Structure 1
Amino acid sequence: MGPLMDVKHPNCLKLRKNSEQWSKYVHGASAIFAWRIAKGEEVTLLSPPPPERFHPSGLSYYQVIEEPIIRGLFGQNAVHKINIVHPLIKESDEFFYELWPNDRSNKWVERFGLRACKMKWRQVRHSEDKTKLQSLMAFPNQHLSSTEEFKNFEQHKVAYIQPIYSISLLLVFLYTLLKIPVVTLFGLLYLLLEKSWNENNATKEDEMIFETSAATPIMISAETTKAEQPTETSRQGASCEMKARVKSQKKAAKKIKNEKKARAKAQQEAIKKLKDEKSTSHKTQQEAEKKLKGERKSCAKTQKKAAKKMKNDKKACTKTQKKAAKKIKREKKAHVKAQQEAAKN
């Protein structure tokens, strides 16, 4: 899914959303990712080897969201085959087998045997939306377990049942995970049903099946024909649902406002703390500079005293040397004079 899951990438929104918002965002991204894959013919999965190939809880993103979509349980598209490969076993590199519609795991077991790997599965929440999706998948999973059953199921289905059932599951899925507004769902349902009706002849058998399917909890927009308009109970349910949604939106707005206030308060405290730290650092730096200046003055004073003492010592030494030289000169003169007198005598 590229940069959507890379926290270091600037396009990743994880740091800008709370945990609940991020969870819904990833659910929606997984659904879009799966719908794109469902347009192809085959898909290959990477998983641990048998016997435990998928998350034991059955509530991973793939098991709850992606697999139903690529198998065609939600929407109109479905892949023809799902393959699986187990890269954790090095000698089975590039050996893949069919997982759906026919599970050929016996081929892998015959060649490599059962190899239980110690997997540290991530913790997943038994959230309400995932449980609802599992219940929605219960019927299709029982009847679409193989290719032959899928073909027989399609041959015996009447023209309107499959589109209406798929559309119903898709809209419930969108409402459960992505919280799309009810009015938008009404409009989308109306357009899809109108397209389906235009493509098929309105036979008597089709009308009976449509009346049966109309008992599903999907409400039609007020802009449809009189035969399609919702009952008073449906309108009351829509009104209650709209009120609940408005209440939920107000609650979410209040929560966001409180979060903004908390962030602003935290930022102010951080700024104040940083300002105090800068003030303390500046004060410490001034004291250090003052101390260094005093040490430099003391050192300069000591150097001056030493230079003055050295100068005085040099003067005293020069004076002593002059006295000594003068004394030696006098002694030489006296000695020469004594020699001259001795020579005369």
Structure 2
Amino acid sequence: MSAATLLGLTAMMYTQGVDAYIYMIAFFVGWPIILFLMAERLRNLGKFTFADITSYRLDQGKVRTMAAVSSLTVVCFYLVAQMVGAGQLIKLLFGLDYVYALFVVGALMMVYVTFGGMVATTWVQIIKACMLLIVGTNPAFFEGGVLGGKVIGGGNMIAMHLAKAVGGNLLRGFLSAVAFATILAVVAGLALAGASAISHDIYSRVIMKGKASETTELRVSKFATIGLGVVAVLLGIAFEKMNIAFMVALAFGVAASANFPVLILSMYWKGLTTRGALWGGYSGLVSAVMFVVLSKSVWVDVLGNASAIFPYTQPALFSMPIAFLLTIIVSKLDMSARAKREIDAFDDQYVRAQTGVGAATASSH
């Protein structure tokens, strides 16, 4: 559970009423799709990342670059949501200016991930889950119209004010610790995912052609973590007033446009080629980000323009069909010899995806 769920959805329920349930349901609807359409096939193939799957029978360098760029974009969207929640939480608890609070959280995240790595990230996930189960449900049992008048720290801090109203400073302090641990856990995981895309997919596999040492790759990963932290802080400043559950929905929309079409077609459609995957992936990514920038949430609320150019707040309804359409059209028009080899290689991938035969050998190779 991220800060978007704990803080953003609570705030959305407070401001929008039961209509906010669509966001709660939508986040979980994705899991059955992953479970029934993808999970078993990915496990049988012995592949576990977007880049690994899409480059299974396609051009490694080009597809990994595309996958890394789109994954980094999604990570940045998701990171911003968590950073906004963290900045507002620190502002509420300690009275710090929001910008200073963001720099504190960003620095803590960079240090934590750089020196703690995956082990530290896993432990904080375990601890925050236990704390959340213990204290997170208590305010829900006792609330009853005790709040009034959107509150210090902005709308995303509704849960914190509710905790104080029903349990005083003790409960608010405990829930704040849970919220901060939640944010730290998610931010650390996202930073690791983004750093891995840069160090493993772009640097090691594309730039160094698989010849980079583990030590060098780890060093690049640490520098990438610092860079992502700086980007997250700067974007967090720009999106201060945004509801964080809504911002996470934007990240889902970008992922649905840039990653999902290529990923699902690479597993289920024999006709996919490298050229089609690149056109589909990049078109979905560019169109989704462009629609977000031109929508009211950025064009008006962040950039201060009078009216939005794109009339909708969510991009995926339009950008995802664009990605699917271009992927299929360009793949069908690709008559190159490489495209024929990629199409012929689907049968081997299909058998392994269904049975797992040969996956361990291919993975180690």
The TM-score, its normalising length taken from structure 1, stands at 0.24
Instruction: Point out the structure with max Rg over C-alpha.
Output: 1
The TM-score, its normalising length taken from structure 2, stands at 0.23
User: Going by fraction, where is helix more abundant, 1 or 2?
Assistant: 2
Higher relative contact order (CA 8 A, sep 6+): 2
User: Going by fraction, where is strand more abundant, 1 or 2?
Assistant: 1
